Amino acid sequence: MESKFPASTLAFVAERAPQAIRTPPGRHPLPREFITQHQRARIIAALAEETVEKGYRAVTVADIVRRAGIARNTFYENFSSKEDCFLAASEFAVKEALRRVVDAASKVDTWPARVNAGLAAFLHYVASEPALARTCIVEALSAGPAAVDRYERSIQAFVPLFRMGRKISAKGEELPGTLEETIVGGIFWIIYQRIIMGQTEQIEELLSELVEFSLTPYIGAEAAKRTAAEAPPTPAS
């Protein structure tokens, strides 16, 4: 998997959208707005690329417009502000990641195997979209109050998937209330660190460690290690 940083975002959002139209029904098509509003996708891709280069706060609407090759008016027809556009980018990325995770997890039976398969799909997505990942994970922790809402919303999107583990844990009721936030936040942080270190190509190699980290509180270290040692189904792109 090549690390086309940051051009891949544009490739993904802009090129994938038309393909999605041809996707047969039932295969989780991309969100409607990305199918019907090609422009929105291009703008979001431009935002992600600009953000990687300059950091969220330094990016202006003018930068985005220039990178996307659109008129300023077109930007404002789609988004009310840079913040609005950022929010849409983040929502898109979270939805898409969640779709891939749920899709991968539904192919296996037990909860630990689902975590394994879901995380594999998640890491695969991040590795293929480093600019978008950086925009949503890294910048969320440095862009002030509104960004914090996004960061927490991204985390909360994945929390229920882990919370299910409490049902199979002997101590499920007693576990710390923010355990799932810690697991998801920890995974985000590790990914952030790898992106910063220029190790996007190796993100998928983190799978077994992160699976063990996520499962240990629910099923104990031994069982977590066993699941982590199993190869999950190859993530579909």
Q: List residues binding other proteins (CB under 8 A).
A: 3-6, 55, 57-58, 130, 141-145, 148, 151-152, 155, 171, 174-179, 181-190, 192-193, 196-202, 206, 208-210, 212-213, 216-217, 220-221
Looking at the Cβ atoms of 36 and 178, the one nearer to other proteins is 178
Looking at the Cβ atoms of 167 and 171, the one nearer to other proteins is 171
In the complex, the smallest distance separating the C-beta of residue 60 from other proteins, rounded to whole angstroms, is 11
Q: Are 43 and 63 in contact (CB under 8 A)?
A: no
Looking at the Cβ atoms of 31 and 180, the one nearer to other proteins is 180
In the complex, the smallest distance separating the C-beta of residue 177 from other proteins, rounded to whole angstroms, is 6
In the complex, the smallest distance separating the C-beta of residue 208 from other proteins, rounded to whole angstroms, is 8
In the complex, the smallest distance separating the C-beta of residue 26 from other proteins, rounded to whole angstroms, is 36
Under 8 Å CB-to-CB from 56, ≥6 apart: which residues? 86, 135, 139, 142, 143, 147
Looking at the Cβ atoms of 30 and 120, the one nearer to other proteins is 120
Looking at the Cβ atoms of 18 and 220, the one nearer to other proteins is 220
Q: Are 78 and 36 in contact (CB under 8 A)?
A: no
Looking at the Cβ atoms of 57 and 72, the one nearer to other proteins is 57
In the complex, the smallest distance separating the C-beta of residue 86 from other proteins, rounded to whole angstroms, is 14
In the complex, the smallest distance separating the C-beta of residue 87 from other proteins, rounded to whole angstroms, is 16
In the complex, the smallest distance separating the C-beta of residue 174 from other proteins, rounded to whole angstroms, is 6
CA 65 to chain centre: 24
Looking at the Cβ atoms of 30 and 211, the one nearer to other proteins is 211
Cis peptide, bond prior to residue 6, ω within 30 of zero: yes
